[in-house]
Amino acid sequence: MEQAKGYVRRIVTGHDEHGQSIVTEDCAAPAVHTNPKRVGFYCTNLWITHETPAVVNNGPDPTTGPMVLEPPKSGSVVRIIEFGPEGDWTKQLGSEGAKAAFGAMGTDKASTFKQGGHPLMHRTESVDYALILEGEIYLVLDQEERLMRQGDFLVERGTSHAWANRSGKPCKILFVLIDGKFDPELAKHFG
């Protein structure tokens, strides 16, 4: 049986009334988001924390709210994103399309769109870890690109970047985003 796009099995542990460890959930991760401006895009939020140190409890599922690209202030988010191959839709986005694409991800400030560059360039005030689980994809930066393949790992430190899948096949990436604060010397370049 074929699994739905964006399907990720998620197991969550917790504690019973005696403090013993138990499985509290074992099912498909419920927070799968698509983006009408990015064909083949499936973002599955796996877990979110809202503070550091994170509260350890048996609280409700923190991923069931609306899609938000950035991690919560002083928190983190872990997700798997499936990027479909790029096509003509990429060239047709333009500034307004890029703004709408990021609006669909809960932010209107992440886009760093520049005419002639990749339309989905963006920046968040976070430290992001990315592990290529399946496929290949280009990390696009302001001045260069790097091809990343299965098993490659990235530490992305608040840079303007985009993801360009030119392979013709889906690419899955595990992301962990940790809220951050730009160094004042660096922040002055971002206006």
Q: What is the CATH number of the domain that holds 77?
A: 2.60.120.10
Q: Is residue 19 part of a domain?
A: no
Q: Is residue 44 part of a domain?
A: yes
Number of structural domains found in the chain:
1
Cα gap 24→26, rounded to integer Å: 7
Q: Is residue 24 part of a domain?
A: no
Q: One digit per residue, pLDDT tens: the chain, 191 residues?
A: 456 777 788 888 877 887 777 888 888 888 899 988 888 999 988 888 888 989 899 999 999 989 999 999 999 999 999 999 998 887 788 888 888 898 888 887 888 888 888 999 998 999 999 999 999 999 999 888 899 999 989 889 888 899 999 999 999 999 999 999 988 888 888 76
**pTM (2 decimals)?**
0.83
Containing structural domain, residue 132: 31-187
